[in-house]
A and B are shown apart, each in its own frame.
Chain A
Amino acid sequence: MTNLPPPGEGAQPPPGGGARPPANDTTVGPLPNPTANPTIDTRNERLGDGVNRCPKCGSTEIQLRPSVGMLVCLFCRHEWAEARLDETISNGDLTTLSGTTMGSGAANIDTGAGSLITMKCAGCGAEVVVNTAEQMGARCHWCRHVLTVNEQVANGAVPDAVLPFAITHDAAMEKIREFAGKRRTFADRAFVNGFKPENVVGVYMPYMVVDGNVSADVVGSGEVETRRYTRGSGDDEETFYDADVYQVQRHVDFTVDDLTIEASSERGQMNSALNTNNVINTILPFDTENAVKWNASYLTGFTSEKRDQDVDKMSPLLENQLLSIARSQVASSIGQYDRGVRWERERVQVHGTRWVAMYLPVWLYSHFQERDGKSMVHYIAVNGRTGEVMGSVPVSTGRLLAAALTVGTVIEGIVIAMLGASR
């Protein structure tokens, strides 16, 4: 990032040696190639729907061992892991990314495809139904084999990759206990009395992880103070300012690597008056570079939420975030405007994107609150990889008001005493 020279009189040459065209030039950067919209095949062809056995002993009793991030066979204790997705999709040079590329697990959802999948048990021939909106496997009720959904289906339930839990249930419980413990005094009594951190649930949430090759322009006004002076005296004294006004244009080319966006329409709705989804958003980011190829056995013992958003629907949100990133990137170049900058117009040119659907691990503790006919679910969320925790604890309005009024009264008493003493 260059330090732009201080603004002076008249037009200034483009900072950075004029290597870049001005902001209103629309021929910036490589144009997207309309024919380059490939799909990257991320299917795990070693696995299919139904019975998937331990490669060593043939058991279907397989689950994740979070402390080591490996799948473990509960019969022979053999441990193994799927290959990292990065070995399939190489990041490459993101500045050459063009068009829209997506993993086969991020393909558009067939609106006619339901959540229920019926699998034939390879052990006994029984038919077992799995509701992929909540889970990706089931136990055959006849022969007890575990059946898992591994083939990419059109309902969006099977992503390109999964990032396994690394934080254990006990560790998550402890983090939630600590978080809520610090917020106990003014918490709603129903929350305090019903607090049971052992009820925390491990959920694989659907996200799109996006790489992008982007250019952005912003145009606005900036002001530099040239003089400050006062008029009048005493209570009538007023400060006045003189300033120079500049038209400010900035252009930045950048790439983003693994920008993570909610792929569930419900979780993507962040309205703090209606829900507490923002706390789940706050525990991002994840170490998505360590995500592995899909294997539903990673989800055994956990619940999951199915993706219901397509790339097309998420593109406006992506552009919104890219513009925010662009504005953040140019912020260091407007420091000379000591009276501030008002951006008035902005533009983002997305030269290329790569979308990968991913299940990311979140420990969720929830508390349902109903008050005055309004209901809200308060979450405390723990990042299943980093352990970052954020939550919403419902407050006891009465306790909070009592504390505020007490403190306000004490302050007011001190002020009155001080004023009395000074007369």
Chain B
Amino acid sequence: MIAMLLSEHASGALVAASSSGPTWLLILGPAGAGGLYFALWNYYRNTSKSHSFESETRIEAKPVTGQDTKVNEIKDTKRSGIDGANGTAHRTRVQRLDP
């Protein structure tokens, strides 16, 4: 169990470190320790678990409809993704429109 969790975290850190120079490899020790601690803690406590009602409820949906309108262009940005992306954060609520 520990070996599995460790290898998962260590391999991720290794890739990150090797691409940024050997000095950064030194962060692997603390990162591995921290990663193992939180992975094990989550395995025991399961605080992030909840009923996946979005997928585990019987839902009959009609085809999704909508519009896509180009409104702007961005040039020379260093951001690799849209600011505040929440396309997969289904439970994050945003401003409610009146019904």
- Which residues in A have some Cβ–Cβ distance to B below 8 Å? 1-2, 4, 7-16, 18-20, 22-23, 26, 94-95, 182-183, 186-187, 217, 219-223, 226, 235, 238-260, 270, 272, 276, 278-279, 281-285, 320-321, 323-325, 327-334, 337, 339-350, 390-395, 400-401, 403-405, 407-409, 411-413, 415-416, 418-419, 422
Contacts and interface: CB of A to CB of B under 8 A. Distances in A.
A408 B36 contact: yes
B16 interface: no
A342 to B, nearest CB: 5
A328 B90 contact: yes
Given A7-B70, A241-B77, A347-B99, A281 B51 contact: yes
A288 to B, nearest CB: 10
A404 B38 CA distance: 9
Contact of A251 (B22, B49, B66): B66
B15 interface: no
Nearest to B13: A411
Contacts, number: 293
17 contacts: A14-B67, A20-B65, A221-B82, A223-B82, A240-B78, A242-B74, A246-B68, A250-B65, A252-B65, A260-B57, A340-B81, A346-B93, A347-B98, A395-B41, A395-B45, A404-B36, A411-B28
Contacts of B60: 94-95, 254-255, 257
A403 B61 CA distance: 48
B46 to A, nearest CB: 6
Nearest to B58: A257
A184 to B, nearest CB: 10
Nearest to B34: A404
How would you classify the secondary structure of chain B's contact residues: helix, strand, loop or mixed? mixed
Contacts of B66: 4, 14-15, 22-23, 248-251, 330, 333
B64 A333 contact: yes
A222 B63 contact: no
Contacts of A4: 64, 66, 68
A341 B99 CA distance: 23
Q: Bin chain B's interface residue count.
A: 35 or more
Contacts of B85: 339-342
A11 B66 CA distance: 11
B59 A320 contact: no
Interface of B: 1-2, 6, 10, 21-22, 25-26, 28-30, 32-34, 36-37, 40-41, 43-51, 53-88, 90-91, 93-99
Nearest to B55: A328
Contacts of B96: 345-347
Nearest to B65: A20
A342 B67 contact: no
B61 A253 contact: yes
Q: Which 4 A-B pairs give the minimum distances between C-beta atoms?
A: A408-B33, A412-B29, A340-B85, A341-B87
A8 B59 CA distance: 31
A341 B88 CA distance: 9
Contacts of B97: 217, 219, 345-347
A242 B75 contact: yes
Contact of B53 (A1, A321, A342): A321
Contacts of B40: 186, 395, 400, 403-404
Given A247-B69, A340-B85, A411-B29, A392 B47 contact: yes
A408 B68 contact: no
Contacts of A2: 63-65
Contacts of B41: 395, 400
